[in-house]
Structure 1
Amino acid sequence: QLIVVFVSILIAFVAYTSQIFVLWNSLGGAVAHTFFVLAPFNVFIIFIYINYALTCTTDPGTVPPNWMPDQNTHFEVKRSTHTARFCKTCNNFKPPRAHHCSTCNRCVLKMDHHCPWINSCVGFENYGHFLRFLVYVEIGSIYLFALLSNRLAQIVEELHTSQIRPSATEATFLSINMIMAALVIICVGILGGYHVYCVTTNTTTIEGWEKGKTLTMKRMGKIQNVKYPYDYGVMNNLRSVLGPQPLFWLWPRTMSGTGLYFPIN
């Protein structure tokens, strides 16, 4: 719980100290220009908080007690026994793409990974929220970095032309928040880029590891060519996570389906 509080405070710190101590006066104070410049950034902040809250509070997907695989539909089997996958810890069968999380101590539907930053797993029900959160964090950080960079350029120009120096408070928050924004852009950009790849190929992080192992075994000649069964094409893969209408992909929505069965390509 503390990590979630920390992340929430950190977002507010960077967002609002930048506006109050750096950008507000430099943009002209309470004028229309300031509103038009800062309004988009604050919209990004709102959506960051909404999607972070949804990611943290939405159950990633729980396997129903005594769930049994339907013999008339596709289900995954263990490679060693060719029988339906079974979790000995939960004493329950595993639906396709479900995995046991040792931290949460339960099986999670379409489990991607356990994320300490949300104090929960990212799975079937909250993966869309998680992806939107990353997108808004990246967009918001780039927007903020651009605003702070513009202010830094103004300060440098003022030092050369009129010898006007920024206050110690402004200089401190400008330095801290530019560094923070740059780090977020790099780190979240890498993480977000990977998850954009995952969603376009309809692959979870765990399945990505498994695909890597499969490719290694194929190169070693231990297995023949194996086709990944859940890739339906880029647009269909995106729709399966973000919804049927591309115009609303960045708008929060619940997942459709149960997460217990997935169509096969």
Structure 2
Amino acid sequence: MEKFNSFFSNKNTISDISAQDVSQTENYLEVAKAFAKLTYQSIYIIDYEKRGFEYVSDNPLFLCGLTPKDVELLGYDFYFKYVGEKDLNLLLKINQIGFDFFDNLPLEQRKNYTISYDFSIINDKKNSILINHKLTPLFLNEEGKIWKAMCIVSLSPNHSSGNIIISDTHSENIFEFNLETDSWERKQKVKLSDRETEILSLYAGGLTINEIAEKIFISSDTVKFHRRKLFEKMGVDNITEALSYATHNKLI
């Protein structure tokens, strides 16, 4: 029970929901369900007042062999059952630093922010899968605390757990948490040139280097040059990782 409660920061404890708070939520679950039909990603919604999951989509990635209803009923116990101890402790750490960060934001900006991080879950075949987890506030109560949040889960483009990033939709900066120094570091979002975006989009369409070169009237060596620059900007080693990174970070 002590570890379970560690997922719920005292800074975001919600004990009372007003009529005005409730008025925000009319029919919003129907929107979430419709969105779930349109994406390959897993979606679930956290209710911080009830300290559980309000909705879980039927994408199998996050279900670990269970039904959506099973995961919904498990709520935060899901993590204790399907996340190893090392990554479970990481999640508790992320929970703490995330709410500390959020608590220092101006009330009017809080819904602009998303936290993203990677951890491993154990699927129904007892295999460990590294997933990327994004959480963003849906509704705040009158005091500005997160009442409900949407979580989006997909396969991680990275190779290890962590990679904790907070981003603001209205800013060119991101905040990356350094686990070694136990501090946030401000960095700039990756920016692609028009040519890099074009080449990456053509790669996503399945074209080869020669086909891309012919289509946009440049040499194959120039395509390779832009591809190397893409890899450097993203910190990846191949085009598959670059496409995954670009998708996760909404670059294409």
State the TM-score, normalizing by the size of structure 2: 0.26
Larger Rg: 1
Structure ranking higher on relative contact order (CA contacts 8 Å, 6+ apart): 1
State the TM-score, normalizing by the size of structure 1: 0.25
Larger strand proportion, structure 1 or 2? 2
Larger helix proportion, structure 1 or 2? 1
